[in-house]
Structure 1
């Protein structure tokens, strides 16, 4: 887990967060950007204007900002991910409130998971927002849950040596990874016990979108001191309710063609 540098510059951090949102979720207006960052509209406008200047964003005829040439991804991916986040956030709210721990939505990009939504728990000691973070899929609870359900050939291709050229030291052993993933589909959830950050444990479950191009998961993260095997059952039940709700509402949205 990467730590925020002591010399971090808030404006730079905000600009990078906006770049990630535009790349992963698609277009947004100044008011929406301001709300996501918790800043004034004028601040959001300045940030977006700088992204346009550097080709990280473009402004369309409807005064919406979208990913520019530097960040462009498929429009379909934008639409689907944005819709999924919109659907999922109320369920993350309910999940965080039910367990009083932080709840996250993430999607698979290559061999990494990108966190696209977080609702923090209310306790003083809690896991902070992961929104905008990118972490190795094989270390993250939601990533493990997704990898465990991939067809064997797809998993092998994802972790083939040639796919990790220049990152050889980061590549996990495929045999070891298979051992770690074994049993996750039957259990329905995957665990990340301090695999990405000391003192943090997470439990993840797949969100089935019925779209192989959009693989997602929800996780609950908490300080390791509060995680117990006795309490795992209640976490699994809460995750099951949340993911079922997201799947149901997302399927309805796709079927009706809602934006």
Structure 2
């Protein structure tokens, strides 16, 4: 039917291609689904949130998490805003396949999501928190800080607390938007010197993944906060010694 459509010069649209991609994914024919995705783009059609979410969800269900992450990062770089379904697919995919191999073979460039996820896991955070934080980092890196803050609010309603990694993400996001003076709105007062050091580590990862010519003041702000915190700690130690 698709062939007849093209033959009769009836141009397929985003919905047509998305339906076709969905059909191939449902039958497990991911190679043809990806070919249809590329053909869609070559025709000048921009995939929408449904198109990307179908691919992401399908790869997550198959435990092909690196592929799912590839399309998630592609989605963000193309300024297509994910929705709650997209996030749920990624979170469930990672939590349901804890032993999946997360390599970079399907990536043309370094994957911020996979690098940050592996770092967070090695730092001792639970898997679900690692996935959500990786999502937040990627959103803020791609100029979607408002979407990241909305997701944070939903997470807090579920019992998730702000931590140094998410603080680094939001600080980086507002700095990219030219709002670095608003840093007090995203850095928690509860962060001690150790927490600020952790935030700085992830801030530097984000800066490394920025395109050439784009800068962020986030690391400088965190470095100054660490110096101030260290100074305050030294003052307290001197007071205790004096007593």
TM-score, length-scaled by structure 1: 0.27
Instruction: Say which one has the larger Rg.
Output: 2
Give the structure, 1 or 2, with the largest relative contact order (CA under 8 Å, sep 6 or more).
Answer: 1
In proportion to residue count, which structure has more helix? Answer: 2
TM-score, length-scaled by structure 2: 0.28
